[in-house]
Amino acid sequence: MNKKLPIYACIAIVLIKFLFLLTHHIQEDALITWRVAQNLLDYGVIGFNGDEKISSSTTHTYVFVSYFFNLIFGKAYFMYPLLIFNSVLFTIGSYFLSKMLLKEYWQQAVFIVLFGILPPSIKISILGMEYGILFFLEMSLLYYGFYQKKNWALLLFSPLILFTRIDTVIFLGIVFIVDLIWNKKINWRYILGGIIGVGVVLAFNWFYFGEVVNNTITAKKLAYDKEFSTSLSWKYFLINYGNYWGMLKMTANFNPYTILVLLFELCAFIYLVTKKNSRNIFLWIIFLFAWAKQIIFISQKSYFDWYYWVPQILLFAVIIVFILEQKTKRNLWMALLLLFYIVPMLAYQTIHSIATGNGEWNYRRSIGLFLDKYEKDKNQWIFLEPAGFVPYYSHLKTIDEVGLVDRGVQTEMIKDKKNFWFNTIKNRQPKYILAYKDIYQDPESEYYRQHYKLLKEFRIKDHLKSDNPILEKIYKLKPSGRDYNLYERIK
């Protein structure tokens, strides 16, 4: 019976996450990957706009997985089976992690539940991003390759991990370093797996797209590259550091809650690794990887919160292990953890998912649905940012401001970054512009007035209502979304 407790915990946590699917909280970038997958289905080309090849998605593995789910379930019904699949894979990964870190079955079961209801774990599972698959692959490598010493795992999972995200070279590198120091010998099979992985990814990018790294990396580096003074770098760090070690990003610059969590993580880690235990190699791997990835991404001014989901939960895992292994007053420790962290974080994530789901699914999706009905010619172009919900549901060809789905924007940035927005519109003449601002107030207002008319205004305040009074309070408590103006080219 005890042996089955971790399995029961896995089933329970997956069922709990099903409730979050009702919030329709889906990450914008997931729809970019799904459109790429559907473009592959329709045109036989990995791209975004027809038969043009472009790596608009950061992840190759997830594109192919999404393609097969579209093929099996159809474009109208693939979404929820895929989200459930992501959630199941993440939970299996957490099961592997629990086996590596804890001996008792009841400890593993409690770990799986507590680990699974952390905010980043919920987001990894149900927001549609590739991190559920990635977490499963990374934990599978550790479990089968280093815990059970299966040589086949070293050759299989390293290439799959790299093909999912190229930045996982950080994870694979940390694993190699820790394993080398721990065992005092080079694991040549692991090196071979890494060489195969890097070779496969680079060869695929070069021979299919004609590039070494994904277009998404090139586009983001070009679009977000700007000079940061020391004071500005510090300002951005303070605004975003809740993403790094905590799980609650407050609007204020100072977040003491995150500092307390960080200190607790450090103390718990030191306490655990000072005790001789064979599982310490895995504690060192997950802790050093989490810190390494965060430091590298922080140094590159990468402020998208999904980059930090996996590091967040891996750092917090040591706290759960620390509490589960207390010999005295364990129940008190557990009660305090639940009362002051797990329950508040779960409540916060529930409110956040409901509010964000409203802003994305009910609001931003409605813009795409409006355009889908209004514009019958799907060969027409729209210029906007971001390239998720609206392009996906409007089915229009898309130029995005970052250049993720269209390289022409990058060309304009290289020529004149300051004026690339206007130059793109003037040279490409898209039929539609979806803007956060009133373009008639821009310096180029005369051109816009001559060539574009305001078709419709979309306002987030119009979507903060619900027949359910509790939902309406949540929508108004945490409004999610921005105002848009939709412009149509004058014929």
221 CB-contact burial (10 Å; exposed 0-12 / middle 13-18 / buried 19+): exposed
Is residue 9 within 8 A of residue 112, CB to CB? The reply is yes
b/e string for 91-116 if b means 16 or more Cβ within 10 A? bbbbbbbbbbbbeebebbbbbbbbbb
Pairing of strands 432-435, 381-384: parallel
List the chain pLDDT tens, one digit each, 491 residues. 689 999 999 999 999 999 999 999 999 999 999 999 999 999 999 999 999 999 999 899 999 999 999 999 999 999 999 999 999 999 999 999 999 999 999 999 999 999 999 999 999 999 999 999 999 999 999 999 999 999 999 999 999 999 999 999 999 999 999 999 999 999 999 999 999 999 999 999 999 999 988 899 888 888 887 767 777 777 777 777 777 777 766 655 566 778 888 899 999 999 999 998 889 999 999 999 999 999 998 888 787 888 999 999 999 999 999 999 998 899 999 999 999 889 999 999 999 999 999 999 999 999 999 999 999 999 999 999 999 999 999 999 999 999 999 999 999 999 999 999 999 999 999 999 999 999 999 999 999 999 999 999 999 999 999 999 999 999 998 888 899 999 999 97
The reported pLDDT for the residue numbered 227 is 67
Say how far apart CA 327 and CA 320 lie, in whole Å.
14
Is residue 154 within 8 A of residue 189, CB to CB? The reply is yes
The reported pLDDT for the residue numbered 409 is 94
The reported pLDDT for the residue numbered 259 is 83
Single-letter amino acid, residue 330: R
Say how far apart CA 305 and CA 298 lie, in whole Å.
11
Instruction: Report domain extents, the chain.
Output: 2-325, 356-489
The reported pLDDT for the residue numbered 125 is 96
Pairing of strands 452-458, 397-400: unpaired
- Cα(first)–Cα(last) distance of the chain, in Å? 72
Phi first, then psi: what are they for 374, rounded to 5°?
-75, -45
210 Rama sector, left if φ>0, alpha if ψ -120 to 50, beta otherwise: left
Give the predicted TM-score (pTM) of the model: 0.95
